[in-house]
A and B are shown apart, each in its own frame.
Chain A
Amino acid sequence: MSGNPVLYDHPGPRARIRNLALTVVFGLLILAVLYWVYRKFDEKGQFAAILWEPFLKAATWNNFIIPGIEGTLKAAATAMVFALAFGLIFSVGRLSEHRWISVPAGIVVEFFRAVPLLLMIFFISYGVPFLIQKPVPPFWSVVIGLTLYNGSVLAEAFRAGVYSVPRGQSEAAYAVGMRKSLVMRHILVPQAARAMLPVIVSQLVVLLKDTALGYIVSYPELLQLGVNVLSANYGNVVAAAIVVAVIYIIVNFALTSLANYLDRRSQRRGIRPRAIDPGAAMGGGGAAAGA
């Protein structure tokens, strides 16, 4: 039931008038609220030129926002690679028939899924140095924290994906004499990865957003540089936060759109395994909302 029109009939004359009325009423309501917000911001002087002028200067972008975006993307890209590897390894580990592998892998995955990322990053930055007697640079605190959390979520997504591959696939593989590791590598994981592609990409959006938590360990990412440091220079914390929020929305929207495109493409080309249960897939993935 992908086409929404299934839920209602084509509107007749009365329905059309009713819909039009609803459109007008609701539209006006939204506009009224937006206008009120605008007026209030104006009243409090949030549109004062002095707050927004810095964004017209190239130096503001070159010194704070662009390095911030670079910091965010660098941490996100590194963490994405590690998280995918972590997810792959631990999903396979959890699917292992050897209990001494599957049980520890399960504990690791469950634990890191349950601990708030804020606590993780904070601990890696301030607690782990006591253990290893070496400082953990902010960059690695963020990347490791993101990897452990998102990797664990991805591990569950991969696992659900492997379960979604019709059993006949692995049975056929065993029948032609493949060993377990070969079945995993050549038959199950590639199909599972495709089935889970949308979940994976939306988890990567979560990861990108979560880099914003890097500011608690003063990692120079977009929120730290673009809001905290920038506003210490110009005293315009609200304006800076609005600009940074718009940048985040644009970047993440692009990634989400990619996820939707991949989703549609995999459905159209029929490469998605048939017996997929979206409940199990999303439940395992928990990809819906991140920290």
Chain B
Amino acid sequence: MRMTRVAATAAAAVLALTMAACGSDDGSGTGTGTGSGSGNTATGVVGKASSGSLKIGVKADQPGLGLQTGTAYEGFDIEIAKIIAKGLGLQESGIQYVTTVSANREPYIQQGTVDLVIATYTINDERKTKVNFGGPYFIAGQDLLVPSASTITAPEQLAGKKVCSVTGSTPAKRIQENYKDAKLQLFDSYSKCITALAGNQVDAVTTDDIILAGYASQSQYAGKFKVVGKPFSEEPYGIGLKKDDKAGCDKINEILKAAATDGSYKAAWDKTLGASGTAAPELDTSKLTNCA
């Protein structure tokens, strides 16, 4: 008799399982959301925005730029996202933030997981073959973060020094290729690099200056670090969207142009990275992409 009961339990489990599987399929189906049937225009950012919601990919672990603080996100990228959403006629509540990491930004755009990516996203030719870019809304550059007392003032002085960056990132690759004498320590997040810098296990952390400034301005590290301030690359931050969405890209550039003059760009800076005392940069509208 006991055997039968076990078999029945197993059958019930299998049944529950298949039901769970069905339920999950439905879930992921709505997630990709292309089958809503509102035609081709709905796949563009402008169309998506007019339907009342927009999924924007942002970073979750970069203070000052894109930082998840519980259920909310904050930072310069987030403020830019709000400006874009407002320009598209979207309520702030219509923005749905999606955490992205560097490696999944292109796939997320290509496959429609997100509509826009605003996540310290450098415009370059290789990425342009896969996605379209609005912006740039900020020109960053690779720089070094060192302890306040450090004598390092340029990447050439890194020979024999330990420098930390993130596995597989462009800054890490640049150090490997151009500054071979530096000893590279790699982690999976900049937070760990900063902790290692605070403990003197590494002599410098390298990535885009604006990201470094974000970390340096955190209260626990107040006065401990300085950004060297001599960027040795140019990283124009763009807003990523689908390759064929020229209309959306043009619209985004229009919004950025307006933001440069009406003070909202400056306000976005002052509210976030400006807190560290750096004056707001100019948004150079002559550099905006042609969306081709």
Contacts and interface: CB of A to CB of B under 8 A. Distances in A.
- A and B directly contacting (CB within 8 A): yes
Interface of A: 44, 50-51, 59, 62-64, 78, 81-82, 84-85, 88, 125-126, 129, 133-135, 137, 140, 185-187, 189-190, 193, 215-218, 220, 228-229, 231-238
Given A125-B104, A140-B28, A216 B188 contact: yes
B69 A81 contact: no
Interface string B219-261: 1110000000000000000000000000000000000000000
A222 B119 CA distance: 23
A229 B3 contact: no
Contacts of A232: 60-63, 67-68, 189, 191
B107 A135 contact: yes
B93 interface: no
Contacts of A129: 107, 111
Contacts of B31: 137
Interface stretch (B4-12, B46-54, B139-147, B283-291): B4-12
B182 to A, nearest CB: 23
Contact of B32 (A81, A88, A134): A134
A51 B104 CA distance: 31
A64 B72 CA distance: 11
A126 B104 contact: yes
Interface stretch (B81-89, B192-200, B273-281): B192-200
Contacts of B188: 215-216
Nearest 3 pairs of A and B residues by beta carbon: A63-B70, A135-B111, A232-B61
Given A51-B220, A236-B220, A237-B191, A85 B17 contact: yes
Contact of B194 (A50, A135, A189, A235): A235
Given A135-B108, A137-B31, A232-B63, A218 B71 contact: no
B100 A235 contact: no
A291 B4 CA distance: 36
Contacts of B10: 88, 185, 189-190
11 contacts: A51-B220, A64-B70, A81-B20, A129-B111, A140-B24, A190-B10, A228-B61, A232-B60, A233-B63, A235-B221, A238-B195
Contacts of A137: 28, 31, 113
Nearest to B218: A235
B67 A233 contact: yes
Contacts of B3: 186-187, 190
A135 B113 contact: yes
A44 B200 CA distance: 11
Majority secondary structure, B binding face: helix
Contacts of B71: 63
A134 B61 CA distance: 26
B103 interface: yes
A196 to B, nearest CB: 13
B14 interface: yes
B103 A126 contact: yes
A270 to B, nearest CB: 13
B154 interface: no
Contacts of B32: 134-135
Contact of B111 (A134, A215, A218): A134
Contact of A126 (B24, B70, B107, B112): B107
Contacts of B16: 81
B188 to A, nearest CB: 7
Interface in B206-220: 218-220
Contact of A217 (B104, B192, B220): B104
B112 A135 contact: yes
A64 B61 CA distance: 12
B292 interface: no
Contacts of A135: 32, 107-108, 111-113
Given A81-B17, A126-B104, A137-B113, A234 B28 contact: no
Given A185-B7, A232-B60, A237 B104 contact: no
A82 B111 contact: no
Contacts of A84: 13
Nearest to B189: A228
Contacts of A78: 20, 24
B60 A237 contact: no
A232 B214 CA distance: 10
Interface string B1-39: 011101100100110110010001000100110000000
Nearest to A220: B99
A219 to B, nearest CB: 9
A228 to B, nearest CB: 5
Which of B28, B100, B188, B219 has its CB near the most chain A CB atoms (within 10 A)? Answer: B28
B159 interface: no
B267 interface: no
Nearest to A215: B188
Nearest to A84: B13
Contacts of A50: 220
B177 to A, nearest CB: 23
A59 B191 contact: no
B7 A237 contact: no
